[in-house]
A and B are shown apart, each in its own frame.
Chain A
Amino acid sequence: MTATDLPPLVAEGLVRRFDGEPAVDEIDLEVRRGEIHAVVGLNGAGKTTLMRLLLGMLKPDAGRAIVLGFEAAVAPSQVWAEVGHLIETPFAYPELTVEENIAAAGLLHGLDRSQIPIMVGQAVEEFGLGRWSGKRARSLSLGNRQRLGIAAAMVHRPSILVLDEPANALDPAGVVFIRDLLKAYAERDAAILVSSHHFDELARIADRITVLHRGCHVGNLDPSGVDLEKRFFDLVYGADLAIRDGSR
């Protein structure tokens, strides 16, 4: 497979340890164009660490994180101009207004200065932030900060999205909004990697679901199948039993 044949986002045997303990252990994963790929797992399963490795925020102890054919550690700026991400904390500087935060994100994501007013205006409208556009981010509710964070991650219309629990703190209307937004992006050929704890949500949006447990890839779930939650726990408990028996 040549670099151009590779899916936009690839993890190849990724390993990352903290204090000797593997947080991510030999994980292979691909995110293809037009696909929403979800990673699911209990707290500490390695979802966020995997995303950080793919975004070059962490250096792998082994394996490779590949973004648009380049290793994340050496990917050029044109590659990162195609990427939007929200990992744990939204891009929301408390002292800046909603519009200023989105403009700042747009500039850092490579938008031209001339494009900023138009793109910021569109993002404010699209993400339902009009009422708060001139307000400082510090005065926003948790849910609106999350909306702002996702708007900041997407203001430059990236073709690769990496979102860690994007529905965090959102009200039901916000959850539906993000779901529709991600589906629309995938239909426009974007490659999307999300993490979530909500099986109902995963069943509605994900094309593929990878289950992580204790840093390992322990199986996949078919999003169209029934009772995702039960099958998830079967995989997780199965992995625990395998560890106890020494077969993993």
Chain B
Amino acid sequence: MNRAVRVEWWKLKRSPVTVTATALMVILLPTMALGFYSVAQQGGTGPLAQKAGAFLIGEGWEGYLGAVDQIAAAAMFLGTGFVVAWTFGREHTDRTFPSLFALPVSRTSIAGAKFLVLAGWITLLSLLVVAVSLGIGVAAGVGPIQTAVIGPALLRLLAISLSTSMLSLTIGLVASVGRGYLPAVGALILIVVAAQMSVLFGIGGWFPFAIPGLIAVSGSEGAPVLIPMQIALVPIATAVGLWFTVRWWRRAEAV
């Protein structure tokens, strides 16, 4: 497994897809949230100001980091999902999949190694998003620095970033079965739409991919209260996706 982890790490860190996705998520998420926050703070009666106002939950740090939470719940699923789709799908698109057969390192180990390095990257990325969000908030002076307010809000952002990104690992199954990254990108978009629909129909709490978004709006007016069983669906869905992906890799043929 160590050998496969090393090779997969080289591939991931050298990939332009990973570098671009990391930069976009780390910079754009807090910047966009700050944009919404600033527009809402300025007030006004324009449609943008009204939308930004409706988007924010609370004032100061709570409002700004709440905006990061909501953007992260969807954008990080898509952003990390693109990288997951590429990591598994590229072996088919670049036709390197047959090279991963007839080796002393099993394909189970290779698929496991892909998940391990992706999980490591997701953890680093989530920490970076939290750190940069804090930095941008301080630089923009969104409010007085109170550990009692900022601490729990940052922890919540970390939990949302990690859970939505870890859920995107399940996309590896679509990229594997679909033998390419395009089917996986299609699935990513479908899942985001399905998550929105599930929330609209009031069943979002039972759809794992909607849960990070619901955590992001928890505490706001009309938001459903999640029970522990619903939150547990996030790691359960992730684990099921990983298991099926590794199983596919163990049984797959290089057709």
Contact = CB atoms under 8 A, between A and B. Distances in A.
Interface of B is mostly: loop
B99 A91 contact: yes
Nearest to B100: A108
A104 B94 CA distance: 16
Contacts, number: 77
Nearest to A91: B99
Contact of B101 (A56, A88, A93): A56
A100 B13 CA distance: 12
B14 A96 contact: yes
Interface stretch (B3-11, B36-44, B47-55, B142-150): B3-11
Given A58-B253, A88-B95, A108-B3, A95 B102 contact: no
Contact of B15 (A59, A85, A87, A95): A95
Interface in B88-146: 94-96, 98-106
B104 A81 contact: yes
A107 B98 contact: no
B254 interface: yes
Contacts of A57: 98, 101-102, 253-254
A81 B3 CA distance: 13
Interface in A77-110: 77-78, 80-81, 83, 85, 87-89, 91-96, 100, 104-105, 107-110
Contacts of B6: 107
A152 B6 CA distance: 16
A25 to B, nearest CB: 18
A52 interface: yes
Interface string A103-121: 0110111100000000000
B96 A104 contact: no
14 contacts: A56-B102, A57-B253, A77-B103, A77-B105, A80-B103, A80-B104, A89-B94, A89-B95, A96-B14, A104-B11, A108-B103, A108-B104, A110-B103, A162-B102
Closest 4 CB pairs between A and B? Answer: A77-B104, A57-B254, A89-B95, A110-B104
Interface of B: 3-4, 6-7, 10-11, 14-16, 94-96, 98-106, 253-255
Given A93-B96, A96-B10, A96-B11, 16 more contacts: A56-B102, A57-B98, A57-B254, A77-B105, A77-B106, A80-B102, A80-B104, A85-B102, A87-B99, A87-B254, A94-B94, A95-B16, A104-B7, A108-B7, A108-B105, A162-B102
